[in-house]
Amino acid sequence: MAGVDVSILITCPRCGTRYSVAKNKIPPRVRSFRCKACSTSFPWEGKEEPGREPRRLAISLSKAGVGKTTTAVNLAAGLALAGFSVLLVDADPAGRAAASLGVARPEGGLFGLVAGELSPEQVLVEARERLWLLPGGHSLSGLRRIIAGQGRAGEATLAQTLAGVEGRFDYVLVDTSPDWDALTIGILAYVRELIIPVSLEVMSVQGFGEFLQLLEARGRYGKELRLKYIVPTFYDPRIRKSVDIYEKFRNVYGELVCAPIACDGELAENQGLGKTVFDLDRESRGRQDYEALVRKVAGLPPLPPSGEAG
């Protein structure tokens, strides 16, 4: 089509930087590219890459200790094991995702990327096969202040930065801090789907209601951002309150409510050692519960009840 500027998308397989190249500027025999960001040369088959958008999900609730990081890390690890390419973004100044995966956290992380001081290959850490971590940490307190000072422009910069690295991934999962602040609000402006972990106790349920009100006040909730999964955590079938709260959630929110994640000391202990539930025995409670969540999120069929497998 003469006169139409046709661009094609080329993604560096090493660092994920995406290039939009005018098709008529590529000489006919070119079969490789060199990435300007990481200097890697890679082959190109001459085919157009379909524009790919990852699913973007935040694991969020403005209440501490409900299992946000635990859910983000295990969901990310499970999706990667299922064959998806996953980016886990740690948007919490506490920065515990790296330790939960047993990897060292380089300085800079998300802050360095947004500030334009570091490139994707300097900040992304390969934590497991197909699972990449964009670490958080103390520097995010500075980022929080910058975004707060810039308002919507700051939110847009954050979204653009993440959009610049998301191209090679099937999923971008973002673990947020328990604070309702400019950084969390910026992340909620970037993602399209929301996962809310709720620990099955009264205070957490109150926090859930308040969080929905905060989202509604921002005017985006239900439009660009949809609540997709409520993940009941710290479930203990021996405790009446735990069972009652779970059932009430099921009655009100129906299919949005996922199968509960049991309270599991082995999970917590191993998280402290940098192991996800998928590094544990197949029979471990936490592993089975998070495997069910991975299947629900990815739309994979549920596992048959134990004893029928194989």
Ligand X SMILES: Nc1ncnc2c1ncn2[C@@H]1O[C@H](COP(=O)(O)OP(=O)(O)OP(=O)(O)O)[C@@H](O)[C@H]1O
Binding footprint of Mg ion on the chain (CB under 5 A): 68-69
Q: How far is the CB of 231 from ligand X (least distance, A)?
A: 10
Q: How far is the CB of 234 from ligand X (least distance, A)?
A: 6
Binding footprint of ligand X on the chain (CB under 6 A): 64-70, 92, 94, 96, 178, 233-234, 261, 263-264, 267-268, 271
Residue closest to 297 by CA, chosen among 231, 220, 207: 231
Q: Which amino acid is at 70?
A: T
Residues 129, 279: Cα–Cα separation, whole Å:
13
Tokens of 60: 């969020």
- The binder of 249, among ligand X, Mg ion, none, by C-beta within 5 to 8 A per type, is none
- The binder of 268, among ligand X, Mg ion, none, by C-beta within 5 to 8 A per type, is ligand X
Q: How far is the CB of 59 from Mg ion (least distance, A)?
A: 9
Residue closest to 61 by CA, chosen among 162, 166, 242, 201: 201
Instruction: State which residue, 155 or 264, has the beta carbon closest to ligand X.
Output: 264
Q: How far is the CB of 32 from ligand X (least distance, A)?
A: 43
Residue spans of alpha helices (H) in 54-102: 68-81, 97-101
- The binder of 170, among Mg ion, ligand X, none, by C-beta within 5 to 8 A per type, is none
- The binder of 65, among Mg ion, ligand X, none, by C-beta within 5 to 8 A per type, is ligand X
Cα–Cα distances (Å) from 233 to 22, 183, 246, 251, in that order, read 49, 24, 9, 17
Instruction: State which residue, 123 or 231, has the beta carbon closest to ligand X.
Output: 231
Are 128 and 77 a contacting pair, CB within 8 Å? yes
